[in-house]
A and B are shown apart, each in its own frame.
Chain A
């Protein structure tokens, strides 16, 4: 995959393109911006934006035929926005309507305009503001042209007077031009209105620049068949065409002034909120009425993915911008541009919700995963981002924790149970109880306890990921290619993506099909909320099975708003903790505040993440198998490793006694002779958040105690030691106890101390 290919991911994104109303507006009013201001009661600001586009707001807000209403998406559920009335209110509630006075240098060119209707006057206004000398010839006694039929003369004159307040021009009334030779000018705009004089120049005119075949002469407005609003746009457009002609002697105009936006049909896919009918109002709205009508406007734009994704909100970036940044990150220019999106790329939870909600199915999950692969290959992935998880994965797949057991007799297994690496780390009992259940269905079931390789994928290391998958595939073959039963939704997603030859089923589906009367029934019929793990979105049978299992064992199930295919990540996905701890915290907080009911989930990472945040949450298996794990029990990082060892001991031992295994804790697993570590709950939290394990702490202390490389605080006799392990330098402040150490503080950094224990005094 080449860097430029990344642009394809968001090619179809239409976020930020003009809304349908803006596309059809002849004067290109920035409806979103105008409405935004009115919604906030800021009529003057809205008026300025409106005035800049329409030139004569006091007139246009009275006569506009509102093509916007024909394409307004509101029309699908109730009625189009009354935009013209909102615009009238902007005019009415702007105290100081004076136009801005420009101080452009005087141009030594004279432009003649024939016809003082809307088109001619708009052209005159634009040219005068750029300080051209302008003569307007009008055959009637007053300006206004066809407007006179629809608006009172005093309204027309007052508006012209206001808008030309700082822009003086020569109006020559009661003067009908019969032949262009009567005029002495560098350029001419003929805007003589419907059925007006064309001087024979309309045939073969350029409909884009509005230039005629005669050098320096342009035609536009109702003369060439436009409506009054488009006539204004013609006047503005011709002002640009004339300026170009006067500067470079070309008649082809300025493309940006005549290129039209087509209505982007993708907008039609956007869902319109509930019907909300407007108030019927005659005349000018009150400011309150205008604000409430403006609030009906949806300011149509596609922000669905951003609204669903805390990461995009955190970085305040939308897919198109993210792609730009991702591509810039891949080819930084030395000393000039940075790897600007490296943190963003690694802050994605890899949950895939963006693709699910996007009307164009834009897949930012895949884009950002591929970007991680690219950064890794380019040796530009900050190693500390994924270091902890890579060590965790290495441990899960090491001899101490990895388990592969097939029946001793050469009998083919029907099932191979693959619980993943985190379920047994959370509590060995989950795995042993589930395997016991599977063994009742298939006495010769095999088991493989290890990592599915997703941490390597998330860290960008494709080679390591493939290596893990190759091992899984080979052991699956060794077991006789059985149906693989998966307990972890992320393993399931990973298998279907990278190991498509292996047939899989979720543990929960197997259980729902084979209910066991010995399962723990909840007599109190407690209410629980189901938290669907994000990776379950791709497996509806799994989601259904979990609901059916919970009902079977007596619980009343409450649904969260983000459930089913809209499931959101608990914050664990993509391993963002070391990359963006603040974002991770925000996500966890959002999730646990979704409902007051205790959560039941079927991903141990979701369960453990929520429990760490103090939220009562259970893994479904804890309820079914009555494992007795407290809903808020937090498992420390070190305990997770010890649990894996305990699980292996238990499964490879002759008797799989779940009760004893489940009680295995770090205290039991660490040899009795090991010194005692006293860690306060607050410090434990800090350690979990910073991914510091007891083993790291012990290594620092024992290194300090054996080498004597310690710093002693003479005031309180606290001892501080530090040690670099891999990429991280750990610092521990402690007090020595008779049988161990009491921790006072633990912290860590990624920077390396380069010259320690070189003797500076000796230099």
Chain B
């Protein structure tokens, strides 16, 4: 995932530490799922890039809405 390339360039504004790939939990339309995204190892802040939001994430949203 492209998030991999980016994570080392990204730092948490609050904790001033680089983001790392970690599991993030999501829910939508009564479904739960997890996926790895860059997030702050200290405070847990998450970063999701636009390509994922308007790509894979939109696909999953659409699939769940049609379920």
Contacts and interface: CB of A to CB of B under 8 A. Distances in A.
Interface of A: 338-340, 342-343, 382, 384-385, 704, 707-715, 719-720, 722, 731, 745, 747-761
Nearest to B50: A747
A339 B64 CA distance: 10
B26 A753 contact: yes
Given A752-B28, A756-B44, 16 more contacts: A338-B67, A342-B66, A382-B29, A709-B13, A709-B45, A711-B12, A712-B11, A712-B13, A720-B47, A722-B46, A731-B48, A750-B61, A753-B26, A755-B24, A757-B43, A759-B44
A747 B66 contact: no
Interface residues of B, number: 38
B57 A719 contact: no
Interface residues of chain B: helix, strand, loop or mixed (majority): mixed
A133 B44 CA distance: 80
Contacts of B29: 382
A342 B65 CA distance: 8
A343 B29 CA distance: 14
B57 to A, nearest CB: 5
A761 B15 CA distance: 13
21 contacts: A339-B67, A382-B65, A384-B61, A708-B14, A709-B13, A711-B47, A713-B6, A714-B9, A714-B10, A719-B13, A749-B58, A751-B57, A751-B61, A753-B24, A754-B25, A754-B27, A757-B43, A757-B44, A760-B41, A760-B44, A761-B41
A752 B60 CA distance: 12
Contacts of B10: 711-714
A758 B50 CA distance: 23
Contacts of B6: 713
A541 B42 CA distance: 68
A511 B7 CA distance: 63
A111 B2 CA distance: 73
Interface in B1-47: 6, 9-14, 19, 22-29, 32, 38-39, 41-47
Contacts of A342: 65-66
Contacts, number: 102
A385 B65 CA distance: 9
B56 to A, nearest CB: 11
A75 B51 CA distance: 59
A432 to B, nearest CB: 40
Contacts of B39: 760
A745 B65 CA distance: 26
A751 B43 contact: no
Contacts of B57: 749, 751
With most chain A CB atoms within 10 A of its CB, the pick from B43, B57, B61 is: B43
Nearest to B39: A760
A755 B32 CA distance: 11
A711 B13 contact: yes
A751 B13 contact: no
B32 A754 contact: yes
B22 A760 contact: yes
Nearest to B11: A712
With most chain B CB atoms within 10 A of its CB, the pick from A708, A751, A760 is: A751
A707 B14 CA distance: 8
B50 A750 contact: no
Contact of B23 (A343, A714, A720, A760): A760
Nearest to A754: B25
B53 A749 contact: yes
B1 to A, nearest CB: 16
Contacts of A713: 6, 9-10
A93 B33 CA distance: 60
B6 to A, nearest CB: 8
Nearest to A707: B14
A710 B61 CA distance: 25
B25 A753 contact: yes
